[in-house]
Amino acid sequence: MYKVSFQGERGAYSEDAAITFFGESIDTIPCSTFAEALEKTEGGLADYAVLPVENSLEGSVGEGYDLLLSTKLTAVGEIYYRVRHCLIGSGTLEKIDTVYSHPQALGQCRRFIQAHKLKTIPTYDTAGSVKIIREIAKDNVGCIASKRASEIYKVPTIAEGIEDNSSNYTRFLVLSKNATGGEKDKTSIIFSVKHEAGALFGILKEFNEYGVNLTKIESRPNRSTPWEYNFYVDFDGSHDDPKTRDLLEKIRQRTIFLKILGSYKRAKMI
């Protein structure tokens, strides 16, 4: 049985994503932070870690991306998990005036919150917010979390599907100490270039000349050097392929730093 670490309480979307990827027969390990979830797997206490990196409505999960820079783990899979938010609480919708949840969830339900003039209180986790309001035990206080979290902590669901857009997906990376076999058709890398004209263009030119399709490119500040940036890139292909290895070597020659996060099978949105 695989052990899978994730950030949050039981019923968190990260745990749901892990179950979607691996199936029900896993042992999930709740962690208080993203960093702790990765450390559990790095230290051998878990076989895999599940880390959210971006959401289709709210964009990148900055902390997740920043941790990819320092982790020793390898990306071995990805998940696009359909997030369905619920308003949870012991009162009625008319009585609720305050909602607790993770900032990402609050942002994803902005229209519902504004329409009902709800005061928002950010918390560390969606499922954790259910535990918080259960302890508060007031009819005017609710939270935003999953239906499964509502069932786990036995707090009623008041409304379902309250996210701003039904196409609300969070992308998770599955990370492990060891690369796995099987089909691999997508690769993730991180690199930085000299702060000079044409440096990034030279990298993109290599992708173009090799006919490799980029599926994502994003910059994040380099926290050790002000006004310098790291670039996070996903592209079609596996670094096991000779053509891709050759491309990566050409890119390496043009970069200050290059980290290959891993190659894995592309996930489908379901």
Alpha-carbon distance of 62 to 1, in angstroms, equals 31
Which of the following is catalytic: 172, 191, 207, 235?
172
Cα–Cα–Cα angle for 209, 213, 219, nearest 5°? 100
Q: CA distances (Å), 56 to each of 47, 116, 142, 162, in order?
A: 28, 24, 25, 15
Question: Quick check: is 126 catalytic?
Answer: no
* Bridge pairing between strands 157-160 and 186-192: unpaired
**Burial classification of residue 204, based on how many CB atoms lie within 10 Å of its CB (0-12 exposed, 13-18 middle, 19 or more buried):** middle
Which of the following is catalytic: 28, 71, 170, 244?
170
Bridge partners of 4, per DSSP, are 28, 48
Q: How far out from the chain centre does Cα 250 lie?
A: 30
Tell me the two tokens of residue 31.
């962690």
Residue 60's identity, in one-letter code, is: S
Question: Quick check: is 170 catalytic?
Answer: yes
For the annotated catalytic residues, the residue numbers are 170, 172
